[in-house]
Amino acid sequence: MTEQQEASEDAVMTRIGQAVILLHAGDREEARNRLGDIWAEIGEEGDSLHRCTLAHYMADAQDDPADELAWDLRALTAAADEVRGDGPGTGSPWDGRPVRQEPHPAMRAFYPSLHLSLAADYVKLQRPEAARVHLARARAATGVLADDGYGNGVRAAIARLERSLAAEPGAGPPPFPEQSP
């Protein structure tokens, strides 16, 4: 990858980060607008890490739970493209684009959070069974998380949602033995 390409990619992540700051500051509409502009530039053919990161945060900027779900599904698709190495943004030696040998290390660490977000989306849409499926996937993927603030925060959020779903009437047994309602 050339220095110009690396700087360009850094610029995209910087712009996504700036929109996320607006989102966390409470300016959801401006964050949504800026993320939408970046998505229009990178779209479905852009770098998988960019698409995943942008879609993951764009979901948080949505007012409608169905729109939030759609963006979280885009984020998961981008992550899967990256890990498989066969999606948009991957190359081949025959078309002149660089071939990514290994998925970006950050992508695997996204999986627990991506599935947690999907589980939360399905809870909002009153689809507890779908929520449980993604919650189980989130829990199963936590092995890649470090024992740090991010990893501990994701694990704690998974546990909270597990307890919440377990407390629902007709919830059945918890999928993980360590759960306690």
Whether the pLDDT of residue 62 is over 50: the answer is: yes
What is this structure's pTM?
Answer: 0.79
- DSSP track, 50-112: HHHHHHHHHHHT-SSHHHHHHHHHHHHHHHHHHHHT-STT---TTTTSPPPSS--HHHHHHHH
| % the chain with pLDDT above 70 | 75
